[in-house]
């Protein structure tokens, strides 16, 4: 069987941050209490000139540089997002032109709430393994919006990650992938509506926990592994608490979850969340490390990946490490945040 793995990756996190306490101040809520409850201290705010397309391009350019390939080698591009700049017009085509990867390639945008980016990784794996392409690009990028005053506003953030999938010189082999999918109405946004709806407490147990646990358990079964075989585990991270709790449920320690847990300092980047977490782990991973990554998308489903880091990792340095992007920041207040995210109708 042909193999497929990661040959490069890149991350984009906006420059601006807003603190949970600053959002809470505006709504007369207890910010410290909310930050502790969510496990989110601050979130990344996309600037007025950023959208999921610009974030996808910036992350993808870094991935191509890291892999050290000619972008013309890319045979397929899939962009996962739930905050597309256009309702109809593919972001994948913009990314292709901005990388000078076209015009000879397959391209499409994917939608599956927060797991559309990892669905793109699976598609690229299939195309690479079947020899239809040499290299595929999968991106998860979002500029997530929460209704002002809603609980989601404290975590909905902007950011994204891009992964190049190929078969030669992989920095991490993807040994297995498995997905778990059911029709679950935990979170949605209707056509032409600006902000999403969520089913409150329903978003926990029957949605996130059920799907992530089911996908992870089955993945361990397929890979014939146990939690202690993994150096790191990355889960989708709508907040800072769920990944730690789901890790405990599955038998992973806090330390195994820690490196890939980025939401506490940038917020929930939706399609970007688990992929940025995986990038943060790869930033510090060593040859031979085993990694488990499980995404989650409302509606609902989880994609699980079992990876092994190879010796190639020492030859390919990330263009920008996740922790450096996290540290490159400037705080804004709620008024400037409203301006950047165009929360006033006149903007």
Partner 1 sequence: MKEALPLMWRNIPERYNLLGSRCDTCGKNYFPQRKVCPNCRRKGKLVEAKMPETGKIVSYSEVFVAPTWFDHETPYFLAIVELDNHATLLTQVVDSKREKIKEGARVELLFRRIYEDSPEGAIAYGYKFKVVS
Locate 124 and state its tokens. 């690229």
Q: Determine the Cα angle at 162 with ends 316 and 145, to 5°.
A: 145
DSSP 220-263: HHHHT--GGG-SEEEE--SSSSHHHHHHHHHT--HHHHHTT--H
Does residue 194 bind partner 1 (CB under 8 A)? Answer: no
Among 49, 104, 183, 194, binds partner 1 (CB under 8 A): 49
Judged by CB under 8 A, the stretch of 48-56, 123-131, 212-220, 287-295 that binds partner 1 is 48-56
Q: 211, 236, 316, 340: which is the annotated catalytic residue?
A: 236
Q: 42, 50, 58, 114: which is the annotated catalytic residue?
A: 114
Nearer to partner 1, 51 or 142 (CB): 51
Does residue 58 bind partner 1 (CB under 8 A)? Answer: yes
Q: Which residues pair with 330 in a beta bridge?
A: 16
61 contacts 12 by C-beta, under 8 angstroms: no
Q: Determine the Cα angle at 54 with ends 78 and 305, to 5°.
A: 40
Nearer to partner 1, 249 or 347 (CB): 347
Site for partner 1 in 308-347 (CB under 8 A): 328, 330, 339, 347
SS3 340: helix
Number of residues that bind partner 1 (CB under 8 A): 22
Respond yes or no: is residue 82 known to be catalytic.
yes
| 303 φ, ψ (degrees, to nearest 5) | -110, 125
Give the whole-angstrom CA distance, residue 162 versus residue 273.
11
Nearer to partner 1, 61 or 290 (CB): 61
Residue span 99-138 as binding mask against partner 1, x where in contact by CB under 8 A, dash where not: -x--------------------------------------
Does residue 57 bind partner 1 (CB under 8 A)? Answer: yes
Nearer to partner 1, 189 or 339 (CB): 339
Site for partner 1 in 70-89 (CB under 8 A): 85-86
Tell me which long-range contacts 341-347 makes (C-beta under 8 A, separation of at least 24).
Answer: 341/45, 341/46, 341/48, 341/143, 341/145, 342/48, 343/148, 347/48
Respond yes or no: is residue 236 known to be catalytic.
yes
Nearer to partner 1, 61 or 115 (CB): 61
Site for partner 1 in 242-301 (CB under 8 A): none
69 contacts 128 by C-beta, under 8 angstroms: no
Respond yes or no: is residue 114 known to be catalytic.
yes
| 215 φ, ψ (degrees, to nearest 5) | -65, -45
Among 7, 8, 38, 50, binds partner 1 (CB under 8 A): 50
Residue span 9-28 as binding mask against partner 1, x where in contact by CB under 8 A, dash where not: -----xx-------------
Nearer to partner 1, 9 or 112 (CB): 9
Cis amide linkage into residue 134, ω under 30° from 0: no
Give the whole-angstrom CA distance, residue 15 versus residue 12.
9
Among 97, 168, 205, 221, binds partner 1 (CB under 8 A): 97
Q: List active site positions.
A: 82, 114, 236
């Amino acid at each position: 069987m042909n193999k497929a793995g990661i040959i490069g990756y890149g991350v984009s996190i906006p420059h601006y941050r807003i603190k949970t306490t600053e959002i809470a101040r505006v709504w007369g809520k207890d910010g410290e209490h909310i930050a502790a409850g969510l496990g989110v201290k601050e979130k990344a705010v996309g600037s007025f000139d950023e959208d999921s397309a610009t974030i996808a391009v910036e992350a993808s350019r870094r991935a191509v540089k890291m892999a050290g390939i000619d972008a013309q080698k890319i045979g397929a591009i899939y962009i996962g997002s739930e905050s597309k700049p256009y309702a109809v017009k593919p972001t994948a085509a913009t990314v292709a032109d901005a990388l000078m990867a076209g015009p000879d390639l397959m391209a499409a945008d994917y939608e599956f709430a927060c797991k559309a980016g990892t669905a793109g990784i699976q598609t690229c794996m299939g195309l690479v393994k079947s020899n239809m392409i040499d290299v595929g690009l999968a991106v998860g990028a979002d500029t997530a919006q929460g209704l002002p005053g809603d609980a989601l506003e404290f975590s909905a953030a902007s950011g994204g990650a891009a992964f190049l999938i190929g078969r030669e010189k992989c920095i991490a082999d993807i040994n297995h992938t498995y997905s778990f999918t059911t029709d679950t109405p935990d979170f949605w946004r209707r056509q032409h509506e600006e902000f999403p709806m969520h089913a409150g407490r329903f978003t926990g147990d029957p949605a996130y926990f059920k799907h992530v646990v089911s996908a992870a358990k089955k993945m361990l079964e397929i890979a014939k592994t146990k939690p202690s075989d993994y150096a790191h585990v990355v889960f989708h991270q709508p907040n800072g608490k769920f990944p730690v709790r789901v890790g405990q449920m599955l038998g992973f320690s806090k330390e195994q979850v820690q490196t890939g847990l980025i939401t506490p300092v940038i917020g929930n980047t939706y399609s970007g969340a688990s992929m940025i977490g995986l990038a943060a782990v790869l930033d510090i991973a060593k040859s031979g490390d085993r990694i488990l990554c499980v995404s989650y998308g409302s509606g609902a489903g989880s994609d699980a990946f079992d990876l092994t880091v190879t010796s190639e990792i020492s030859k390919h340095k990330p263009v920008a490490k996740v922790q450096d992007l996290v540290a490159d920041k400037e705080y804004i207040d709620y008024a400037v945040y409203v301006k950047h995210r165009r929360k006033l109708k006149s903007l």
